[in-house]
Amino acid sequence: MTELRKDIFTGRWVIVDRQAAIQPSDFDFGPFTSKPGPCDFCEGHESATPPELYAARPRETSANAPGWTVRIVPNVRPRLRVEGSLDRRAEGFHDLMNGIGAHEIVVETPRHDRSLHQLDPSAIAAVLQAWGTRITDLRRDDRIRHVLIFKNHGAEAGARVSSHSISHLMGLPVTPRTVKAKLTVARDYFTEKERCVYCDVLRQELEDGRRLIAANHLFVALAPFASRFPFEMMILPKRHAAEFATLEGEGHDALARLVQDVLRKLDRAVPGVPYNLALHNSPRRRHKEGYWTTLEDDFHWHLEILPQLWPIAGFEWASGFFYNPTPPEAAARRLAEAGSP
Amino acid sequence: MTELRKDIFTGRWVIVDRQAAIQPSDFDFGPFTSKPGPCDFCEGHESATPPELYAARPRETSANAPGWTVRIVPNVRPRLRVEGSLDRRAEGFHDLMNGIGAHEIVVETPRHDRSLHQLDPSAIAAVLQAWGTRITDLRRDDRIRHVLIFKNHGAEAGARVSSHSISHLMGLPVTPRTVKAKLTVARDYFTEKERCVYCDVLRQELEDGRRLIAANHLFVALAPFASRFPFEMMILPKRHAAEFATLEGEGHDALARLVQDVLRKLDRAVPGVPYNLALHNSPRRRHKEGYWTTLEDDFHWHLEILPQLWPIAGFEWASGFFYNPTPPEAAARRLAEAGSP
């Protein structure tokens, strides 16, 4: 079991695992070699995982059997568990609650030897569709405040269990700090100007052009002005949208093509680069006509792609400041020129 | 030259280096091997660095010559430069300023083959004294809002240039987010209760005892209740003090003994563990009787020691939340039992 503990000095939440990794051998902080397949996420190994929560598979195939293209299963080592109650409580000055929530694994492909950028746009679109479906489903659980979706590609970016292409989906009982910071800025901006800050910046970036990486009729990929990481990318819908899960057919297809394009550009510019990907979506905020809705004018969902090329060190931990040796304008030019599919 | 850029969506500052690291060979994201000595920081190589800003050395020795125990020099590849003006400006919606400030290297020992925890308490006390002297000195520069001191031990914690034991000292023209968050919490708590939140928590932790690692008559080392990292440690003065630089003789000696003790405990518990160390000090805030002072009732300086045993991944980047596989109570017990000098 895990506990959610709040740091009184900063307001930051931490998931503390009571399993107690404590021996030096419990950690592996040296060079890491990924294991060859097949693994528990491979097609034909469906019985090695808990029963599937979702699968994109032809009707003639059976659940938990081969034939799927995307499969979502509960994490066997979940950081948060669905069963139980939060039991929010104090321990003197300290705040804590039980580690309740959801932790699911989105298996993005049946093949062990394919990374996300090596999939066809239609296979990537199926992953995006799966994310949206599970977000909508997890929103029904009143204990869950925010659904977080992220991906670790490469051991240096945290993919230590398997090199099989997966993403993580977590339903959190608190709104995370980073999400809260973004929401607050966007809400304050909207309150003052009655405009979305993401829409405003996007318009400026499209006119300026120096930080544009790629675009299609629905989405734009750009290098953020204050990129923390070399080759950092942000993908936004061109038209204002607070909620990722409202995306459908053509939206999934267009986003899948852009995601494939920019991940391939990244891999051409810096071959084999490890990266993290995260979906920043509007958390559930309003109860309306019997179900929770998140449609707000003051947030604009986006994807962040964070290449891990540069060590995070004392400077970043001590300050929350970042040092980036690669100007976003130079990164955008390099990525834009790295060809398209 | 560098630029300080502000992310409009979060308020986070980033130092962007215009030198443009862009080739894959500019980065090294694979396994890292540290170079053997001697290096530019070793005794006898003084001419390889810019002239010293500070040195603890006997009177009969000359500046920039052998004989020193601690030596502070400007960083040859500074992230912020002393020369020039900030020139705060806008680029449409974006905020930026020149990368002005200070970036100094504290060479903690003349010997290449000694880590901080392998030094005598008197040598560690000399490092602490050096920090305090430079903090006081940098505070005289009106452009500098906060002096940050941190240390990267081991390649995985970001020590990539040399394995020589050094710490970094940076004078920043903005108050960093992490520092601001701590100050705000402490100020709000003080406003409400007229007590210091660190003093209150410290009293509770001393009574509770489960998270205590070591202590002497002036300082305490504990595992924070919401530790982000396995074996994370926090060192605080027992008596309320906002400002590290007010520490003198006996204070330096007592802190040096505790720092040596807990770093040795850490190295015994998890041999060779990489870590980051950071000083969280009160920033300069009030102009009083002709000079800037930081003496406030609502902050309590402390050191953080953050072992890097566990990968930071998409979860942390997407949420600002942390996952820690080692409960602080278990870590504290293990560290406390790891013997003392």
Give the per-residue SS3 of chain B.
CEEEEECCCCCCEEEEECCCCCCHHHCCCCCCCCCCCCCCCCCCCHHHCCCCCEEECCCCCCCCCCCCCEEEEECCCCCCECCCCCCCEEECCEEEEECECEEEEEECCCCCCCCHHHCCHHHHHHHHHHHHHHHHHHCCCCCCCEEEEEEEECHHHCCCCCCCCEEEEEEECCCCHHHHHHHHHHHHHHHHHCCCHHHHHHHHHHHHCCCEEEECCCEEEECCCCCCCCCCEEEEECCCCCCHHHCCHHHHHHHHHHHHHHHHHHHHHCCCCCEEEEEECCCCCEEECCEEECCCCCCCCEEEEEECCCCCCHHHHHHCCEEECCCHHHHHHHHHCCCCC
Flag whether pLDDT at B291 surpasses 60: no
Establish whether the linkage from the previous residue to B328 is cis, with ω within 30° of 0: no
**Alpha carbon distance B338, A80 (integer Å):** 32
- Say whether B11 and A225 touch across the interface (CB within 8 A): no
Instruction: Provide the chain B residues 181-240 that lie in CB contact (below 8 A) with chain A.
Output: 181-182, 185-186, 197-198, 200-201, 204, 208, 224-228, 230
> Which of chain B's residues have a Cβ under 8 Å away from the Cβ of A185?
8-11
d(CA B270, CA B262): 12
Residue A50: which of A12, A5, A107, A7 has the closest Cα? A107
Q: Does residue B287 carry a pLDDT above 60?
A: no
Confidence band of B43 (pLDDT split at 50, 70, 90): very high
- Of residues A150, A208, A330, nearest to B20 (C-beta): A330
Place of tokens 């396994």: B31
Q: Band of the pLDDT at B285, cuts 50, 70, 90? A: low
Domain interval for residue A329? 2-21+36-336
- The per-residue pLDDT for A291 is 45
The tokens describing B88, both together, are 């705060």
Give helix A328-336 / helix A249-269 axis angle, nearest 10°: 100
- DSSP letter string over A28-75? --S---PPPS--TTSTT-GGGSSPPSEEE--TTSPTTSS--SEEEEE-
- The CATH number of residue A156's host domain is 3.30.428.10
Asked if the structure places residue B23 within a domain, the reply is no
What are the tens digits of pLDDT across the range B166-225?
999 999 999 888 888 898 899 889 889 989 999 999 999 999 999 999 999 999 999 999
Asked if the Cβ–Cβ distance from B321 to A14 is below 8 Å, we say yes
Residues pairing with B236 in the sheet: B220
Q: Are B245 and B132 in contact (CB under 8 A)?
A: yes
In a domain, A30, yes or no: no
Query: How far apart are the CA of B62 and the nearest CA of chain A, in angstroms?
Result: 32
pLDDT level of residue B114 (50, 70, 90 thresholds): very high
* Inter-chain CB proximity A311 and B157 less than 8 Å: yes
**Cβ contact B4:B96 at 8 Å:** yes
Contact criterion met (CB < 8 Å) for A318 and B26 = no
Determine the distance in angstroms separating the CA of A115 from the nearest CA of chain B, rounded to an integer.
16
How close is the nearest chain B Cα to the Cα of A257, in Å?
Answer: 22
Q: How far are the Cα atoms of A31, B185, B301 from residue B196, in angstroms, in the given order?
A: 43, 10, 11
Contacts of B278 in chain A (CB under 8 A): 314, 317-318
- B230 in Cβ contact with A21 (< 8 Å): yes
Summarize pLDDT for B130-163 with one digit per residue, the tens. 999 999 999 888 889 899 999 999 888 888 778 8
Cα–Cα dist B159/B184, whole Å: 31
- Cβ distance A332 to A305 under 8 Å? no
- In the 8-state DSSP scheme, what is residue A237? E
CB of A153 within 8 A of CB of A116?
yes
CA distances from A91 to A8, A86, A95, A282 (A): 12, 15, 6, 32
In angstroms, the CA B7 to CA A322 distance is 11
Residue B314 sits at the chain A interface (C-beta within 8 Å): yes
pLDDT for B282 equals 87
Measured from the Cβ of residue A28, the count of other Cβ atoms closer than 10 Å reads: 14
DSSP class of B253: H
Instruction: Give B211's contacts in chain A (Cβ within 8 Å).
Output: none
**Residue B89 burial (C-beta neighbours within 10 Å; 0-12, 13-18, 19+):** exposed
Cβ(A322)–Cβ(B14) below 8 Å: yes
Q: Encoding tokens for residue A130?
A: 């799966």
How many CB pairs (< 8 A) connect A and B? 312
A277 touches B at CB < 8 Å: yes
Determine which of B1, B3, B4, B8 to mutate to test the interface with A (most A C-beta atoms within 10 Å). Answer: B8
Q: What is the per-residue pLDDT for B123?
A: 97
Contact B176 A319 (CB under 8 A): yes
- Under an 8 A CB cutoff, do A326 and B151 touch? no
Radius of gyration of chain B from Cα atoms?
A: 20
Residue B27 lies in a domain: no
Cβ of residue A317 closer than 8 Å to a chain B Cβ: yes
At residue B231, the pLDDT reads: 97
Residue A139 carries which DSSP code?
Answer: T
Q: Most A CBs within 10 Å: which of B14, B108, B162, B201, as the mutation test of the A interface? A: B14
Q: Give the residue from B197, B200, B217, B216 showing the smallest Cα distance to B208.
A: B200
8 A C-beta contact, residue A119 and residue A128: no
Give chain A's count of helices (H) and strands (E). Answer: 6, 17
Whether the Cβ atoms of residue B222 and residue B212 lie closer than 8 Å to each other: yes
Nearest CB to A314 within list B24, B158, B310: B158
Residues in B closer than 8 angstroms to A29, CB to CB, are: 156, 273-274, 308-310
Residues in a beta bridge with A89 = A96
pLDDT band of B248, cuts 50, 70, 90: very high
A4, A8, A17, A329, best to mutate vs chain B, most B CBs in 10 Å: A8
**Backbone conformation region of residue A28, classed left if phi is above 0, alpha if psi is from -120 to 50, else beta:** beta
Beta pairing partners, A143: none
Tell me, what's the pLDDT at A294? 45
- Give all strands (DSSP E) within B158-211, no chain letters: 166-172
- Tokens 């566990």 identify what position? B310
Structure confidence at residue B292 (pLDDT): 42
Contact residues, B window 121-160, toward A, CB-based 8 Å cutoff:
148-152, 155-160
Paired strand residues for B60: none
Which residues on B lie below 8 Å from A325 (Cβ)? 17, 19-21, 26
Q: How far is CA B252 from the centre of its chain?
A: 16
User: B238 near B205, Cβ under 8 Å?
Assistant: no
pLDDT at B32 over 90: no
Q: Which of B153, B225, B306 to mutate to test the interface with A (most CBs of A within 10 A)?
A: B225
| A150, B314 Cβ separation under 8 angstroms | yes
For an interface test with B, the pick among A27, A172, A187 (most B C-beta atoms closer than 10 Å) comes out as: A27
Q: C-alpha A333: how far from its chain's center?
A: 25
Whether residues A311 and B27 touch (CB distance < 8 A) is answered with: no
pLDDT band at B21 (very low <50, low <70, confident <90, very high): confident
Q: Nearest Cβ partner of A158 from B152, B157, B312?
A: B312
Residue of A nearest to B268 (CA): A24
pLDDT confidence tier of residue B262, bands split at 50, 70 and 90: very high
Residues of A in contact with B280 (CB under 8 A): 318
Give the count of beta carbons closer than 10 Å to the beta carbon of residue B159: 23
Cβ distance A328 to B182 less than 8 Å, yes or no, reads no
CA dihedral A120, A122, A124, A130 (to 10 degrees): -150
> Is the CB of A227 less than 8 angstroms away from the CB of B14?
yes
Q: How far apart are CA A331 and CA A75, in angstroms?
A: 35
Asked if residue A149 belongs to a domain, the reply is yes
pLDDT of the residue at B116: 96
> How many CB atoms are closer than 10 A to CB A203?
14
Average pLDDT value for residue range B53-76: 96
Domain count, chain B: 1
Interface touch B12/A168, C-beta < 8 Å: no
| Minimal C-alpha gap between B122 and chain A (Å) | 24
Which ranges of chain A have pLDDT less than 50? 287, 290-295
- Can the peptide bond before residue B38 be classed as cis, meaning omega within 30 degrees of 0? yes
Pairwise CB contact (< 8 Å): B225 & A8: yes
Considering only residues B21 and B10, tell me which one the structure prediction assigns the higher pLDDT. Answer: B10
The residues in B 37-76 lying below 8 A from A, measured between CB atoms, are none
The answer to whether B314 contacts A12, with C-beta atoms less than 8 Å apart, is no
Helix H or strand E segment including A137: helix A121-138
